[in-house]
Structure 1
Amino acid sequence: MQTMEQPAPSVLKLLAHDLRWTLLQQLTQSDYRVAELVAQVKQPLNLVSYHLRQLRQAGLVHERRSTADERSFYYSLDLQRLHTLYLQASSSLHPSLGEEIPPAQRTQWHFDGSPPRLLFLCTSNSARSQMAEALVGHLSQGQVQALSAGSHPAQAVNPLAIRTLARWGVQMSQSVPKSLEMFVGQPFDRVITLCDRVRERCPTWLDSSPIHWSLPDPTKAEGSEAERQQVFDQLASQLDVRIRLLLTLLERERQETVPGQKTAS
C-alpha cells in the first residue's frame, strides 16, 4: 500500500534548532528572565529574544511581567502543551508512538530512601506556597516532605485557598503562615519561590537547587467572590501540573542514585 507523503510536523522543526532546544532545557528547571537565559546559553540578546518569540508563537513558552520589576518578564515552559504536540507529531508517523500517559496526569510516584524535602516560598505564605505544600503532600501520599514559608507572613491562611483545595479533597484547615527565617540553614532538595519579589530577596540554601515559578498572587484578585474563586481555581490547576512534573523529576533523580528503583504509573 502506498503511503501519502506528509511534511514533518512544525513542532519537530521547532525543536530541532539547537538554541531553541537549549532554551527549553533551561526552562524545564525554572522560570527565567531573558537576561538570565542570555547568560546561561551565552548567546546575544537579540538572538535569544528571537527564538523565545518563535517558541511563544507556538504556545510552548509563556511570558509574564515580573511583579518585582515591571520592566522585565519571566518566561515559563508549557510542558503539558509540548507533550501534547510532541505526541501528536509522533502519532502522525505511527499511531502507536502517541500512546503515553502525559506527565501532568500521573497519579503515583515512588521514592526509596529518605523523603525528598521541598520548601515553597512566597511573600505572605497565605495562598500560593501553602497550596503548593498541601498539594505535594496529597499527590505524593506523604512520600515527599513539603514545607512553606513567607518573607512577611500573614496572620492566617486565605480562606479561599482553604476552600479551593478542600474541593480537591485536600485539607488545609490546620495550616498557619510561617516565616522563611525558620528554615534558613536547613537542607532541602529544592527551594521553590512562587513570588517574584521573594525571589529577589530569598536567602541562598547551599544544599538545594533553586527553582522559580512566576505565579500571580491570587489574593490580589478583584471582583465578585465567584471571580476571585476562579483565580484561586486557576492557581490550583497550575500548581497541580507543575508539582506533578516536579515529582517526576525528583523520582528520576532518585532512580539515578538508588539502584533498581522502578517508575510508578
Structure 2
Amino acid sequence: MTAPATPSVLFVCVHNAGRSQMAAAFLTHLAGDRVEVRSAGSAPADTVNPAVVRAMAEVGIDLSGEIPKVLTDEAVRASDVVITMGCGDACPFFPGKRYLDWKLDDPAGRGVDAVRPIRDEIETRVRALLADLSVPARH
C-alpha cells in the first residue's frame, strides 16, 4: 500500500507581506512536513509587514526571516489547493486545482492591534483547512 501524497497549498495575496505570510506560517507550524506550503504575491513587497511579524511573534511564530515572493505559474501548477486573499484577477487559473478565496481584512498600513484579529481569523481558517485535508494539527 502506498502512502497518500502530501497535499500542497499555495496562499496568495497582493504583496505577500501579510495575510499569505501568516497563513503559510500557521500551516507550516500546525502541519509540519505533512503539507507542502507555499506563499506568493502578485506584486510582492520588499519586506514582510513589521506589524505582522510582531503579531505572529506573540503566538510563537517567527516571520522575521521571511521574504515576499512573486507569484509564478509554476507555484500554482505545483499546488493542489490555491487560497487567494484579495489578489483579484492576478491569480492564474489552472483546471484541476482547488481554489478558495478567503475574504480577510488587509493588514497593510495597520498597527499590531489591528493585525491581531486578522491573525486569529487566519489561524481559525488554517485549522479548518487542515481538518478538510484530513491532516491533524500539531499542538
Indicate the TM-score class for this superposition, using the shorter chain for normalisation: 0.7 to 0.9
Q: Root-mean-square deviation (CA), in Å? A: 2.0
Write the distance in 1 (CA, Å) between the matches of 2:137 and 2:99: 26
> Are the counterparts in 2 of residues 187 and 205 from structure 1 also a CA contact under 8 Å?
no
Aligned AA for 2:7?
P
Unaligned 5+ runs, structure 2: none
Write the distance in 2 (CA, Å) between the matches of 1:192 and 1:155: 22
Write the distance in 2 (CA, Å) between the matches of 1:241 and 1:118: 16
Cα 1:171–1:184 shift into 2, 3 Å: closer
Aligned pairs, how many? Answer: 136
Q: State the match for 1:215 in structure 2.
A: 104
Aligned AA for 2:22?
M
Q: State the match for 1:246 in structure 2.
A: 129
Q: State the match for 2:88 in structure 1.
A: 199
> Are the counterparts in 2 of residues 187 and 208 from structure 1 also a CA contact under 8 Å?
no
Write the distance in 2 (CA, Å) between the matches of 1:172 and 1:159: 9
Unaligned 5+ runs, structure 1: 1-111, 222-227, 253-262
Task: Please tell me whether residue 149 in structure 1 is matched to residue 32 in structure 2.
Answer: no
Cα 1:185–1:137 shift into 2, 3 Å: closer
Name the structure, 1 or 2, with higher relative contact order (CA <8 Å, separation 6+): 2
Q: State the match for 1:255 in structure 2.
A: none
Q: State the match for 1:230 in structure 2.
A: 113
> Are the counterparts in 2 of residues 188 and 205 from structure 1 also a CA contact under 8 Å?
no
Cα 1:185–1:160 shift into 2, 3 Å: closer
Alignment of 1:88-167 (within 5 A): 113-167=4-58
Q: TM-score, normalized by length of structure 2?
A: 0.88
SS at match of 2:77: coil
SS at match of 1:236: helix
| Bigger helix fraction | 1
Q: Which has the larger radius of gyration?
A: 1
- Kindly state the Cα deviation for residue 169 of structure 1 after the two structures are TM-superposed: 1.1
Cα 1:166–1:152 shift into 2, 3 Å: same
Q: State the match for 2:71 in structure 1.
A: 180
Please list the CA deviations of residues 64-97 of structure 1 after superposition, one character each: whole Å capped at 9, or x if unmatched: xxxxxxxxxxxxxxxxxxxxxxxxxxxxxxxxxx
> Are the counterparts in 1 of residues 30 and 137 from structure 2 also a CA contact under 8 Å?
no
Write the distance in 2 (CA, Å) between the matches of 1:219 and 1:120: 17
Cα 1:174–1:207 shift into 2, 3 Å: farther
Cα 1:264–1:159 shift into 2, 3 Å: closer
Aligned AA for 2:116?
D
Aligned AA for 1:142?
D
Q: TM-score, normalized by length of structure 1?
A: 0.48
Write the distance in 1 (CA, Å) between the matches of 2:106 and 2:94: 24
- Kindly state the Cα deviation for residue 142 of structure 1 after the two structures are TM-superposed: 2.7
> Are the counterparts in 2 of residues 119 and 188 from structure 1 also a CA contact under 8 Å?
yes
- Kindly state the Cα deviation for residue 170 of structure 1 after the two structures are TM-superposed: 1.1
Please list the CA deviations of residues 224-255 of structure 1 after superposition, one character each: whole Å capped at 9, or x if unmatched: xxxx2111111110001001001101118xxx
Aligned AA for 2:130?
L
